[in-house]
Structure 1
Amino acid sequence: MKHKREGRKSLIIAPGEKLPKEVLQQLKEANNRYTKNKDFPSYLKDIELIFNITPVKVTTDSKLYLAGFIGGEGSLNVSAKKQKNTSFGLVIDPEFSVTQHLNGAGMLYLALDVFQTGRIGYKSGSNATLFFRIDNRKSLQEKVMPFFRQYAFPYGSDYLVQRAETFQKLLNLFDSKAHLELGSFLNEVLPLWYSMRKQEGQVNQSFANLNEAQEYVKAFVAERQIKK
Structure 2
Amino acid sequence: MIYLTDIVLGAPDPAVRDAWVAETQALSGRLGPCAAELFEISEDIRDAHYAYVGLRAWAADPDLEDALAGGALDGSVAGRPVERVVLRLRTQLGAPAPTAPGTVWLVNPFEIAGAEIAGALAMWDRAKDHMEAHAGFVNARLFRARSPHARYGLLNVSQWRSAADFKAALGDRAYDRHRARSLAYRLHPSLCRRVVAPVDGPPGVAGPAAAGLVAAD
TM-score, normalised by the number of residues in structure 1: 0.27
Q: Which has the higher contact order (CA 8 A, sep 6+)?
A: 2
Which one has a bigger Cα radius of gyration?
1
Higher helix share: 1
